[in-house]
Amino acid sequence: MGRATATAAVGNAIFGDGPGARLALVSRPGSLGPPDLPRGLVLKIGIIFDGFESSAEMLATARATEAAGADSLWFAQHMGYRDALVWSGAAAAITSRATLVPLAISPYLVPPLPLAMHVATTAELAGGRTAISIGVGNLLNLAESGVTADKPIAVMREYTSMLRALFAGESVEQDGKLHRLARAHMNFRAPGDIPIYIASTGPQMLKLSGEIADGIVLSAGLTLVSCKTCLDHAEAGLRAKQRDPATFRRAGLIYVGVSEDPAEARAMVRRKLAFLFRNSAQAANVASAGLDIDHEAIIEAMKTNDLDLATSLVPDAAATAFAVAGTPSQVRDQLEAYLNIGMDEPLLGMMGKPELCLEIVRALSI
């Protein structure tokens, strides 16, 4: 059986400190061990790298967390930070078991053939241990590069089709909304299949994911209500195409603050949430928590990069409404709520002392 998923930087005191079957889980009293899962369910454990730490810290974390039991290492493509595709290739050289996944690569920034080359090369280096997550990308970041995300549903449908054909060794001739391939092809084949995840929280894109992708990846900082709504949209896509729900992965990023002092754990998470809430697109999600949060004031504070002020506007209760925070045993209990709504591949963005973060990974490993 597999495991569950996490974010990290073992070289620092803080992990990640930079800017369908339903589960019926049963707690084990007095234990931090893995949850009891229904027969046949595979719960995977991975580590999210956000690109904020140094490459040396990433490599150290990759080694340590794979040794602790993580099944997968995910590398987020945040504009202006370390490159996800380069990092996944680097990780291939120092790992032996974990699946390597560049996260949320945008079709508006990377054409299909170069992306297929990157991923297939990493798969070759890693003995087939790779997958790819694609997504439209942050609209604010795209605008900084002079890019407008026109016709995103059509573009993502075509991008997925092109990548699958290239991975399969086909000669691709397709005149798409964004990319035009004129008999583009790969001159080598990657070992094994390469799963394609779509990263999104938009209803139409989530439905598309259920129709054509191997899995979804939900953004960090979502309430349980928002997560469940997103999963329902993907399920609608699965039903529309009469696909087997058991073949579809439901992944989601979850911020996790862990400390023997619960207040310290919540404080770490609140700072992450303040950075996340800088985007006005978070309005519906923020409202879904039912907390007194001045979202507009957070946005204004972040326009001047005043993260301290923005953090002060995030109430303490938000840490466990939009994320997971507390002692190791509290973290385990809170994670079960995400699993119980149908998320079977939680990706944990962990913050705290390295030994406590690694304890969580070990405990969830099966």
Distance of CA 7 to the CA centre of its chain: 9
pLDDT in the model for residue 284: 93
Backbone angles phi, psi at 38, to 5 degrees: -60, 150
Residues 6+ apart with CB under 8 A from 155: 107, 108, 136, 149, 176, 177, 178
Distance CA 322, CA 223 (A): 5
Domain boundaries, the chain: 6-11+23-267+322-364
Torsion over CA of 231, 166, 51 and 55, rounded to 10 degrees?
A: 140
For the chain, residues with pLDDT lower than 70 are: 1-42, 366
pLDDT in the model for residue 365: 77
Residues 6+ apart with CB under 8 A from 67: none
pLDDT in the model for residue 33: 53
pLDDT in the model for residue 20: 29
pLDDT in the model for residue 138: 84
pLDDT in the model for residue 336: 87
Strand, helix or coil at 247?
helix
pLDDT in the model for residue 332: 87
Contact present, 1 and 43 (Cβ < 8 Å): yes
User: How many Å is the maximal CA-CA distance in the chain?
Assistant: 61
6-11+23-267+322-364: CATH number: 3.20.20.30
Task: Give the residue ranges of DSSP H helices in 53-151.
Answer: 55-68, 84-92, 112-125, 139-144
pLDDT, tens digit (0-9, with 9 covering 90-100), for 288-322: 999 999 999 999 999 999 999 999 999 999 999 99
